[in-house]
Each structure stands twice: as structure tokens, then as C-alpha cells.
Amino acid sequence: MDDDMLADQRRLVALLEEEGWDVTDVELSAYDSPWEDEKVPEATVTITARRPYGEEGDDEDDENPFRLK
């Protein structure tokens, strides 16, 4: 795996974390491009992140019957 790919992955995770997201999973897949004649590596980054919205205690007014309290 290319060091540049890993550096880009770390930069993407850092950007999300700077915006208040909690990154819970990261997957980096590297492969040769199927669209190029040359052996040009490409990568796909899949990031799973969560971020709560609203302030703590806002759930009390929520009447959603499917929300756990």
C-alpha cells in the first residue's frame, strides 16, 4: 500500500474529527485502475463516523415511540 494513500486517509479522518465527528471505522482499499491501460494504483476510502446533534437533555421533548429513552 502506498504511503501517499495512507497519508490521505489520515488527512480525511483528521478533517472529520476537526468538524466534531467521531470516526468509528476506516477501510482503505487499494487496486490497479480498471479504466487505465497503465498500472495506475487507485484507492477507495470508506469512513464510518457518528456525530450527535442537539444538546444533552433535548430528548425529553421527543415523542418518537421508536427512540430508546
Model pLDDT for residues 28-58, shown as the tens digit of each residue: 999 887 777 777 788 999 999 999 887 665 5
Cβ proximity of 12 and 41 under 8 Å: no
Question: How far is the C-alpha of 48 from the C-alpha of 27, rounded, in Å?
Answer: 9
What 8-state DSSP symbol labels residue 37? S
Higher pLDDT pick, 60 / 11: 11
Q: Kindly list the domain boundaries of the chain, sorted by start residue.
A: 3-51
| 25/65: higher pLDDT | 25
Q: Report the pLDDT value the prediction gives residue 59, as an integer from 0 to 100.
A: 53
CB count within 10 Å of CB 13 equals: 16
pLDDT band at 66 (very low <50, low <70, confident <90, very high): confident
CA angle 21, 10, 37 (to 5 degrees): 120
Q: pTM for the complete prediction?
A: 0.67
Question: 45: closest CA among 9, 14, 13?
Answer: 9
